[in-house]
Structure 1
Amino acid sequence: MIGLDAAPELAPYQTQPAQMPAASVGKVGRLRLCFAQRGERTILAHLYRQAPLLVQRALYWDEEMPEMACVYVLTTSGGILQGDRLGIDIELAAGARAHVTTQAATKIQQMDANYGVQTQRVTLAADSYLEYLPEPTIPYRDSRFLTHTELRVDPSATLLYGETLMPGRKYHAGGEIFAYEVFSSTLRAARPQGPELFVEKFLIEPGRHDVARPGVMGGFHVFANVVLMTPPEVATRVFDRTTPTWDDGTPLIAAASRLPNDAGLIYKVLGTESEPVRDAVRAFCAIAREEAVGRAVPRPFAWR
């Protein structure tokens, strides 16, 4: 559980929901996924699930990597509600390959008490490969949300972890842009048995600080953040192939930077609509996959 010492921004939001107290039965979701190599295929070797989080089974729909286990994280609650406390653990054994995503955008529902929390722990053993690329997060009006992610990645493994943050329900009831109260995201990375590599935290409180001001989002609405943890030689090849983008017509801005301690790269994208941002993230991930495992990314599904 994340305490107020680590997240003082949540101190003003300690009132209990009238419907059901925070962290009570039905509001504590747990998900544990353990992937392992079995013959020529990665399998979902262990699965623990507690509603409202749900995973059914591993699928093998990636034509370019048919041995890779693909898993969709589902929710039975229609989003994250006030008082929710969710936890996701993902572990890959040596040589395993997996793709984890969500069935739809994560909706942070409107709140009048307390807040929602999601913690994530991702552990990759030697020579494993994980694409953890959830669909975008949409914070509704008056929502308060904290996410805390811990990555522990072997130096020989590759992790693609991404998050895309929408401004809210942009076209709902005349527009709901930057109308949420708190969005707090912390990412910590380390080696499985080694020192911490880097920490990144961004805290957005639109009611206290203008998110649309120059130097923050400016005229942009959508923000994507992709972390590539991979061996240094792979990171160098990906960096050399990733061209900074400044497109006033779309509009879109994107660029990659090196992470400290030879941890890999971080790729950031700003846009006004979700699809161009999604395309930029997909292009970066395609380069990363090609350089890390020598495979292409399959064509987008027809409904994308």
Structure 2
Amino acid sequence: MRSRTVGKTGFLRLGFERRSGHTILANLERRSPYMVQRALHCDEGMPGLAFVFLITTTGCVLQGDRLALDVTLGPRAQAHVTSQSATKIHAMDANYAAQSQTITLADDAYLEFLPDPVIPHRHSRFLSDTQISVAPSATLLLSEIIQPGRKHHHPDECFGATVLSIATSAVRPDGRALFTEKLVIEPRRYGMRQTGVMDSFDVFANVILCAPKDTAERIHERAGAGVNLADGLAFGACHLPNDAGLIYKVLGRETTQVKAKVREFWGVVREEVIGAALPPPYLWR
């Protein structure tokens, strides 16, 4: 299918509002292949938290796809947004796929945006741009886990993507810039097994926490850092500029290890910001 046809240019707009002590999905607008069914309230530790699954009817991302996601939280709203499964970027012989994401948090809003990993297949080209507007008193936990490809499917699938570009920038509601980060992966041009790149690791997690300065300091003290080459795991947190929060990175040989460390950091964030513990992992997680 050509670009700009039905099913190739999807968008999803989610607007969360706090009403009567609970957060509801007050606004929903979508176009295929994006879909959301309803907001669930399934977390006993945070009964007012709106839990939403992002669904794509195609099940994968193909060349020529253009996807747009807009998530807005009103004052004191609390939401958890995740995906139905991993985002699979299929092989491409022409064009590329792109997604744009806009996240807006009002005063005292709290958003956990924790989608499943991105799996770029061999010869895929994927561009992602995320624009964040976050109030000083709001908290955003944004996670991106990137796998090397289908490394157990074929040897050439491991770091076989043509290009993967992921950009993230954040501002205050008044437009004051906080930070910008861009990750560009081009395995054909630059070796991924170099020291200082991926070395012996395969899976990478990039976790951004936008939070008030005092909260970020407490989380940073608990986050820790470590490198264990025998177990194939490395992790650590550092401060974002302009007192924007923290950035937490994890490297691992397997996705399970990396997801476990991200969940550990997520648990610290929730305890420090909300004062609630995470529920037990779901069986499908």
Which TM-score band (shorter chain)? over 0.9
Which residue of the other structure, out of 231, 252, 266, is the alignment partner of 1:271?
252
Which residue of the other structure, out of 269, 276, 280, is the alignment partner of 1:295?
276
Q: CA deviation at 1:302?
A: 2.6
Q: Which residue of 2 aligns with 1:260?
A: 241
Confirm whether residue 79 of structure 1 aligns to residue 86 of structure 2: no
**Which runs of 5 or more structure 1 residues have no equivalent in the other structure?**
1-19
Q: Report the residue type matching 2:134 in the other structure.
A: V
Which residue of the other structure, out of 136, 140, 143, is the alignment partner of 2:124?
143
Q: Deviations over 1:135-181 (max 9, x none)?
A: 00000010000000001000000000010000000111356100010
Matches of residues 145-160 of structure 1 in structure 2 within 5 Å?
Answer: 145-160=126-141
Q: CA deviation at 1:301?
A: 1.1
Matches of residues 1-150 of structure 1 in structure 2 within 5 Å?
Answer: 20-150=1-131
Checking the alignment, whether the CA contact within 8 Å between 1:250 and 1:276 is kept in structure 2 is no
Q: Deviations over 1:193-232 (max 9, x none)?
A: 1311000001111111111111100010000000000000
Q: Report the residue type matching 2:203 in the other structure.
A: V
**Same amino acid, percent of matched pairs:** 51
Checking the alignment, whether the CA contact within 8 Å between 2:115 and 2:143 is kept in structure 1 is yes
SS at match of 1:223: strand
Distance 1:195 1:291 in 2: 26
Q: CA deviation at 1:25?
A: 2.5
Q: Which residue of 2 aligns with 1:166?
A: 147
Which residue of the other structure, out of 246, 251, 254, is the alignment partner of 2:232?
251
**Which runs of 5 or more structure 2 residues have no equivalent in the other structure?**
none
Distance 2:113 2:250 in 1: 17
SS at match of 1:227: strand
Q: Report the residue type matching 2:55 in the other structure.
A: L
SS at match of 1:281: helix
Checking the alignment, whether the CA contact within 8 Å between 2:6 and 2:32 is kept in structure 1 is no
Q: Report the residue type matching 1:67 in the other structure.
A: G
Q: Deviations over 1:211-254 (max 9, x none)?
A: 11111000100000000000000000000111102122321000
Q: Report the residue type matching 1:223 in the other structure.
A: F
Q: How many residues align?
A: 285
Distance 1:112 1:94 in 2: 45
Q: Deviations over 1:279-301 (max 9, x none)?
A: 00000111011111111111111
Q: Report the residue type matching 1:227 in the other structure.
A: I
Distance 1:58 1:175 in 2: 40
